[in-house]
A and B are shown apart, each in its own frame.
Chain A
């Protein structure tokens, strides 16, 4: 009987593991910091910068899912970030031009007429819908085509990167309709709100913070769901999953679409906060830049990609202010060091530290039977987020 009681205790200990409450507490703390503390402490300029970092972190959340959990090394998220950003920017330009108006740059470089494929973006509702639907559709078609042909690993990475390069080149080549190298800029209002007004800038920051928090919740749900478990299974043993009756291409396409939508939403919010989107923000270099923060933070964890991305963006800004040319070398060196010596990212340090701590500390009152101790210990071997 005592045997079964102790197993029961072990199971209960797993159910009420501190992981759940700790995650809630962490989420609450992050929400307070982002939504209440930062707007008070930071100057409008710094708050705008943080807002920009949060938009980039949205891309990172998606990469964390697709790469960290799904094993898809997406070197071309700039495409989806750019699609979201350009669609939003086109709407803002049209809105600034007024009903039937022509955006300023088209008067300069173009025919002075709005091309037909721009017209639907005059409607704010259509614009918002397209920001999500266009990247989702592209990712679905592309993902399905690539994954059913079993393109994976480095080949997928190269393919996605080539896509980012092609996208940037396409944008540059179409100066009359996309603004070319200059990109789209000089937005005056955002859905009727004056972008020069600091109150509206703060509102935009709060929207970005809220959206990022929602994305983290979505990512956590996906990671802890059964889908998240199958995703890890596909990452580690794609063929084995196939023999269990799952189609890995469907699983991968699904996570690729989610990552694309997250990147696109990040791009769409980036535009009004930063005030410009250009090919330099969406090509190969920024696409790799998205990845660096994710790798440094810890790609398979829930918060690693977000924190890593924000930290790298912040470091980039600070370092660039001090040593304008030095940052790029530091970024490269940091990337190499992390990949070579800490493949799990900085988050793996936290896991190691937690595992070294005495297990008893977390559950006072739990009988120290081997059974009760064994289960939580073993669960700690798993990456963050895969625990229930």
Chain B
């Protein structure tokens, strides 16, 4: 088994150069509130993410990051607020209808179709708009977008391998590939580099940067070093609210963020120094 690598040239081919199509895309969340039986998981969240701005969403466990994504994609019901993308209101729609408006997401635990091959996984992701006549026939040739996605995430040589036998990092790449062939204009990634090796993280980061320059991308992440390397902007959440927002440097200086992350109400040195300077500086 050769070591797969992200192929950015293939990514460019897949993403296309028709950036004008996505130039005015943006995600606009206003006053979002999510409750679970009286417990308020997300409250009064405003969030605007534009195309070309690789946004990271961070915060301690239970801050409401994943719940925010769940609400936007229709997995949990929002108690109040709105979430608009491409002029369409997403809240209140069934999950598969949200997906059809161009919203794609990944999950904390890579969820691919383990019994199906890499090719089948990507082909399914590419095919939600296929008519019955196409669905009832077998696949004769690999669609071009699927081919490009396989090249992009370095799984072309493993096309006929069941996704279940892929390495952890490869599964996560496969999921990203599925988002790309799905032609999602808004990509919501939940911890895309968890469990990846350092080399894999860097490749993923480069790919996300490339995708983020063309599409609207929101990444939930715990890895501070990864965030520092690749985030264009950061939204910090805490206890269901947005605590701070800005560039990495701005957020790092924010006293409220320092307090949440270090648990001390002092301006002691650089916030998050301990985690943020680990590894390569």
Which residues of A pack against B, CB within 8 Å?
A: 7, 14, 221-222, 224-227, 229-230, 232-233, 236-237, 239-248, 371, 374-375, 378-379, 381-383, 386, 388
Q: Which of A224, A229, A244, A383 has the most CB of B within 10 A?
A: A244
In the complex, A224 Cα to B140 Cα: how many Å? 11
A239 to B99, CA, bound (A): 12
> With an 8 A cutoff between CB atoms, is B182 at the interface?
yes
Query: What's the Cα separation between A246 and B100 when bound, in Å?
Result: 8
| Residues of B contacting A14 in the complex (Cβ-Cβ under 8 angstroms) | 160
Known: A242-B95, A243-B95, A375-B160. A382 touches B115 (CB 8 A): yes
Dominant secondary structure at the B interface? loop
Residues of B within 8 A of A233 (CB): 113, 116, 124
- B136 near A230: Cβ-Cβ < 8 Å: no
- Asked if B92 CB lies within 8 Å of chain A CBs, one says no
A300 — nearest CB in chain B belongs to which residue? B115
Q: Specify which of A7, A230, A242, A381 is in contact with B162 (CB 8 Å cutoff).
A: A381
A229 to B127, CA, bound (A): 11
The B69-97 residues at the A interface (CB cut-off 8 A) are 73, 75, 94-96
Q: Is A230 within 8 A of B124, CB to CB?
A: yes
State how many angstroms separate the Cβ of B43 from the closest Cβ of chain A.
25
B105 cross-chain contacts in A, Cβ below 8 A: 243
Cβ of B276 within 8 Å of any chain A Cβ, yes or no, is no
Interface of chain A, main secondary structure: helix
Q: Given the interface contacts A244-B99, A378-B162, does A229 sit within 8 Å of B123 by beta carbon?
A: yes
| CB atoms of A229 and B120 under 8 A apart | yes
A2 to chain B, nearest CB (A): 15
A224 pairs with B161, CB closer than 8 A: no
Extra A-B contacts (8), CB below 8 Å, given A240-B111, A241-B124, A243-B96: A226-B137, A226-B139, A236-B114, A243-B105, A378-B160, A378-B165, A379-B117, A379-B160
- Which listed residue, B123, B138, B182, touches A245 by the CB 8 Å rule? B182
Q: Which B127-154 residues have C-beta < 8 A from chain A?
A: 127-130, 134-139
Q: In the assembled complex, which residues on chain B have CB atoms less than 8 Å from the CB atom of A237?
A: 111-113
CB neighbours of A383 from chain B (8 A)? 115
Which chain A residues border B116 with CB–CB below 8 Å?
229, 232-233, 382, 386
A287 to B248, CA, bound (A): 63
Task: Name the one of B73, B128, B138 contacting A224, with C-beta atoms under 8 angstroms.
Answer: B138
Distance from A221 Cβ to chain B, minimum over Cβ atoms (Å): 7
Q: In whole angstroms, what is the CA distance A291 to B119 when docked?
A: 32
**Smallest CB-CB separation from A227: which chain B residue?**
B135
Chain A residues closer than 8 Å to B128, beta-carbon distance:
244-246
A382 to chain B, nearest CB (A): 6
Tell me whether A244 and B115 are in contact in the complex, defined as CB-CB below 8 angstroms, given that A227-B135, A379-B160 are known contacts: no
Q: Do residues B138 and A236 form an inter-chain contact, with CB atoms below 8 A?
A: no
23 residue pairs of the A-B complex, CB under 8 angstroms, read A7-B157, A224-B138, A225-B135, A225-B138, A226-B124, A226-B134, A226-B135, A226-B136, A229-B116, A236-B113, A239-B75, A240-B107, A240-B111, A240-B113, A243-B73, A243-B95, A244-B178, A244-B182, A245-B128, A246-B124, A247-B96, A379-B160, A388-B138
A residues in contact with B161, CB < 8 Å:
374, 378
- Closest B residue to A235 by beta carbon equals B115
- Does B192 touch A at the CB level, under 8 Å? no
A371 CA to B2 CA in the complex, in Å? Answer: 10
Most buried by B among A229, A236, A239, A242: A229
Contact with A along B22-62 (1 / 0, CB 8 A): 00000000000000000000000000000000000000000
User: How distant is the Cα of A216 from the Cα of B47 in the complex, in angstroms?
Assistant: 54
